[in-house]
Amino acid sequence: MNLQLSHFSSAVLFAVFASVVFGITQRSTSREQVRYGLYCFAMFVGGVFVAGWVMWMLRR
Partner 1 sequence: MANPSTTKETAPLQPVTAMSVLAPAIGWLIPGAGHLIQKRWIRGLLIMGSIVIMFLLGLAMQGRVYRPNGGDILDILGFVGDVGAGGLYIVTRALDLGQGAIAHATADYGTKYIIVAGLLNFICAADAYHIAIGKKP
* Binding site residues, partner 1, CB under 8 A: 1-7, 10, 13-14, 16-18, 20-22, 24-25, 28-29
At its nearest, how many Å lie between partner 1 and the CB of residue 24?
5
Distance CA 48, CA 56 (A): 12
6 in the Ramachandran plot: left (φ > 0), alpha (ψ -120 to 50) or beta? Answer: beta
At its nearest, how many Å lie between partner 1 and the CB of residue 27?
9
Select 29 or 60, whichever has its Cβ closest to partner 1: 29
